[in-house]
Amino acid sequence: MAHDVHGIWNIVQSNGYRVQVNIEQSEVNGVLVDGDLKGFASEFTPHGTDISDQMLSSGTLSGDSFVMVIDWNNNTVGVYSGTFDPSGNLSGVTFDQVTPSAQATWVRL
C-alpha cells in the first residue's frame, strides 16, 4: 500500500516559507498507489502573504520517496525531494532547480 499524499496539506520550510499543496494521487480499486502526482501549490512568505499559485510541473511517489517540481511565478523552479521515515512522517530538501545550492529543509504538516 502506498503512502497517502493526496489532498490538501502544508510544507514548512526552514527558511520560513510555507507551501500549501493540493495533490491528486492515483487509486486502484479504492486503494492509493505509487506513481505520478498532479495538483496545485501555493507559496506563502514568512509573514503569511500568498505570493504564488501554480500547478505541479511533475510529481512522483515511489515507495518511501516523494518528489514534486513547481514552476513558480517568480521564474524559479522549486524541487521538493523527500522521504517517509518509519513512522510515516515526510520531510526532505527543497532547492531552486536553476540554483541548486540555494536549499532549505522541509517537513510535511
74 pLDDT band, cuts 50/70/90, is confident
Are 36 and 26 in contact by the 8 Å Cβ rule? The answer is: yes
Query: pLDDT > 90: what percent of the chain?
Result: 77
* Residue 104: all three cell numbers together: 532549505
Q: Is residue 26 part of a domain?
A: yes
Q: What is the CATH number of the domain that holds 101?
A: 2.40.128.120
Number of domains forming the structure of the chain: 1
CA neighbours within 13 Å on the CB side: how many for 81? 8
Task: Read off the pLDDT of each residue in 62-77 and give the average, rounded to a whole number.
Answer: 92
Residue 57 structural domain? 7-108
Query: What is the reported pLDDT for 36?
Result: 97
Residue 2 lies in a domain: no
> What is the rounded CA–CA span in Å between residue 41 and residue 37?
12
> Does a structural domain hold residue 30?
yes
- 1: in domain: no
Strands (E), 1-109: 7-13, 18-28, 31-44, 50-62, 65-71, 77-84, 90-96, 103-108
The whole-model pTM stands at 0.91
C-beta separation of 76 from 57 below 8 A: no
Render pLDDT for 35-66 as a digit per residue (tens, 0 to 9). 999 999 998 888 877 777 788 999 999 999 99
